[in-house]
Structure 1
Amino acid sequence: MDDKESKVKKIVFSVIAACSLFALFGCNHRAETDTVQPAAMEELKPMQQSWRGVLPCADCEGIDTSLFLEKDGTWVMNEHYQGARREPSSFASYGTWARTADKLVLTNSKGEKSYFRAKGDKLEMLDRNGSPI
């Protein structure tokens, strides 16, 4: 019986040792997959947001601007030129939007990009290269 008990103990020990090795290899592999490089362009989580404000204007008093970000990754911008002497003084544009680590990138229906960055609960318009104006 001692021989049989000894064999059972060896089998149980071998099974426990094998399971321990598999667990260690599994943990080691998991640590490698947890290292993630940040993406250059990342999507915002589904949401809907909007901003309103007045943009500077060279030949009018200002541009009343409303920007609406839709959950599906599209945007709509309405602009009304204050004190404009020519018609039409209101325009609408649309396109898709994405976010980098620090900027909101709007791409209009012609493929032209506009850049903004969050400043508190407001948006600050950036130049054509994405730098502060």
Structure 2
Amino acid sequence: MKKTLLALVVAGFVLTGCDQKATPESPSQTETDTAVVVENQVQADDASTAEVPVTLPEIEQPEVAQPVADSAHSARNALDWDGTYTGILPCADCEGIKTELIVKKDGTFILTEVYLGKEDNIFEYEGSFNWNNAGNTIALPGAGDDSVQYFVGENQLFRLDQEGNRVTGDLADHYVLRKQ
């Protein structure tokens, strides 16, 4: 009797939760198979006390769509990114690089870098910056020897490494320019 009740409960869950494609007018294959299994179990329990294994049909799992980034909302069009950003970036052979980056709505920039503790230490670059396809990173072509890129966040810019990745590790917090 307990097995019959268990089979009915399992069948109820299968019928109500897993078959989203079936219409009320026509039972699905899963409903038909489950009903046959439950009916056979009830008949077996009534006919004898022998154990009859209950096998439920395999249930097809629905595909789960991966979340897709909403291209309509990016740092480029959702944040107030234009303005002046400052900070002191790490330096391998000096005390730090005092950095000021002005980004303008017209797509131009002015980057001023002061190498602290060195002579001939001021460098200034001007030009037009480019957004990446995702609208979250700007590249400053012509700003120094390397390609300079910044990930755009809320009131801050994160200096990226030469491959365009966020800097990680102990010094990661030092690669941030804050909006003034």
Relative to the length of structure 1, the TM-score reads 0.57
- Secondary structure at the counterpart of residue 108 of structure 1: coil
CA distance in 2, matches of 1:78, 1:71: 18
Paired residue for 1:113? 147
Closer, same or farther: CA 44–105 of 1 in aligned 2, 3 Å: farther
Structure 1 gap ranges (5+):
1-37
- Structure with more strand by fraction: 1
Alignment CA distance shift 1:120-1:71 (3 Å): closer
d(CA) in 2 for partners of 1:83, 1:111: 21
Q: Equivalent pairs: percent with the same residue?
A: 32
Give the superposition deviation at 1:118: 2.6
What displacement does 1:71 show?
Answer: 3.0
Q: Which moved more, 1:66-75 or 1:101-110?
A: 101-110
How many residues are paired up?
93
Distance 1:118 1:71, change over 3 A: closer
Aligned equivalent of 2:91, options 54, 57, 61: 57
The alpha carbon displacement at 1:77 in A equals 0.5
SS of the residue 1:76 aligns to: strand
- 2:94 pairs with 1:94: no
Deviation at 1:112, TM superposition (A): 5.5
Contact 1:79 1:91 in 2 (8 A): yes
Between Structure 1 and Structure 2, whose CA radius of gyration is higher? 2
Q: 1:51 to 1:109 in 2, by over 3 A?
A: closer
Cα contact 1:63–1:81 (8 A) shared by 2? yes
In structure 2, the CA distance between the partners of 1:111 and 1:98, relative to structure 1 (3 Å rule), is farther
Q: Is the 8 A contact 1:44 1:98 kept in 2?
A: no
In structure 2, stretches of 5+ residues that fail to align are 1-70, 168-180
Which amino acid is 1:114 matched to? V
Q: Distance in 1 between matches of 2:160 and 2:99?
A: 15
Q: CA RMSD in A?
A: 3.2
Shift of 1:90: 0.9
2:104 and 2:123 mapped to 1: Cα distance?
Answer: 19
Relative to structure 1, the CA distance from residue 50 to residue 89 in structure 2 (aligned partners, 3 Å threshold; closer, same or farther) is: same
Bigger drift between 75-84 and 95-104 goes to: 95-104
Letter in 2 for 1:77: L
Tell me how far apart the structure 2 counterparts of residues 89 and 110 of structure 1 sit (CA, whole Å): 13
